[in-house]
């Protein structure tokens, strides 16, 4: 059995429910939270999941910073949620409903920078992939259906996480090494934004085989800390489904976290 001191501590970025004076509960209060499924995914092999709250805001107190969390934790998971704001990659929203959450963008971009300074690995899920691309200088399609009308339906509000399509995994990538028996895999699809211009220093590891949408990326510079992300939600995988198994993705990320911990303790 894994001892308490030996368990990896994995940070999960917070989702924001901003203060709303019309809300009947927590009136006027900002809520920060994580989805249960992503926390359970991180914990599924014994790691401890820790939500990282934003230390800034109207009620800020004390001297805690994101660097403190990055130094204490072993890795970071960026999970899904609100749209990335077009303002975060130098564009104006094509429609008001695609304005996104720039406050969360700024918090997560700062969070990624803190973990990079600490040399700790980062893994992005859905919005997390998009945020990482933007954090390192890439851009997004604000709405796939509007800007690429011939593309697949990547988000269906009715079926939600039961909306699926297939992706091609690039054999010469790390993802290809993790799934050596797969060249094409079935994934869930719950997004309406997608990578347009890939950030410098990253490579594409999987694409939607029907429309070419980027589905997995990884930082290509082996001399820098681990950063990888997928557009689908591995935490939604069920053992009885025919979607790509999430286990190899999680194991690869946690191995990087364990290596980072070892480097930190021996340096």
Which one from 15, 79, 126, 154 is the annotated catalytic residue? 126
Buried b (16+ CB within 10 A) or exposed e, 24-40: eeeeeeeebebbebbbe
| Locus of tokens 């489904």 | 241
Which one from 15, 191, 235, 237 is the annotated catalytic residue? 235
Q: How far is CA 86 from CA 29, 56, 143, in A?
A: 25, 22, 11
10 Å CB burial of residue 148 (0-12, 13-18, 19+) is middle
Which one from 79, 165, 233, 237 is the annotated catalytic residue? 233
Is 235 known to be catalytic? yes
Structure tokens at 260: 């980072």
List the one residue out of 179, 171, 76 whose CA is nearest residue 131.
Answer: 76
| Locus of tokens 């993705």 | 249
Active site residues: 126, 233, 235
């Amino acid at each position: 059995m894994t001892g308490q001191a030996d368990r990896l501590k994995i940070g999960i970025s917070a989702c924001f429910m901003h203060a709303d004076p019309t809300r009947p509960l927590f009136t006027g209060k900002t809520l920060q939270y994580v989805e249960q499924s992503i926390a359970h995914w991180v914990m599924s092999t014994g790691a401890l999941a820790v939500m990282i709250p934003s230390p800034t805001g109207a009620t800020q107190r004390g001297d805690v910073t994101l660097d403190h969390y990055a130094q204490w934790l072993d890795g970071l998971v960026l999970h899904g949620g609100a749209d990335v704001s077009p303002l975060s990659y130098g564009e104006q929203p094509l429609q008001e409903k695609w304005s996104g959450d720039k406050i969360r963008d700024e918090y997560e971009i700062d969070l990624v920078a803190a973990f990079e300074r600490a040399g700790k690995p980062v893994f992005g899920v859905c919005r997390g992939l998009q945020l990482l691309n933007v954090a390192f200088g890439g851009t997004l399609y604000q709405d796939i259906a509007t800007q690429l009308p011939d593309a697949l339906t990547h988000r269906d509000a009715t079926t939600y996480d039961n909306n699926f399509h297939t992706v091609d995994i690039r054999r010469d990538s790390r993802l290809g090494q993790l799934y050596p028996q797969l060249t094409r895999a079935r994934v869930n699809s719950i997004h309406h934004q997608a990578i347009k211009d890939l950030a410098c220093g990253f490579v594409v590891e999987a694409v939607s085989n029907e429309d070419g949408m980027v589905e997995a990326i990884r930082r290509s510079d082996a001399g820098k800390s681990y950063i990888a992300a997928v557009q689908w939600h591995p935490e939604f995988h069920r053992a009885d489904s025919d979607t790509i198994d999430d286990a190899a993705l999680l194991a690869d990320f946690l191995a990087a976290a364990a290596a980072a911990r070892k480097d930190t303790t021996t340096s």
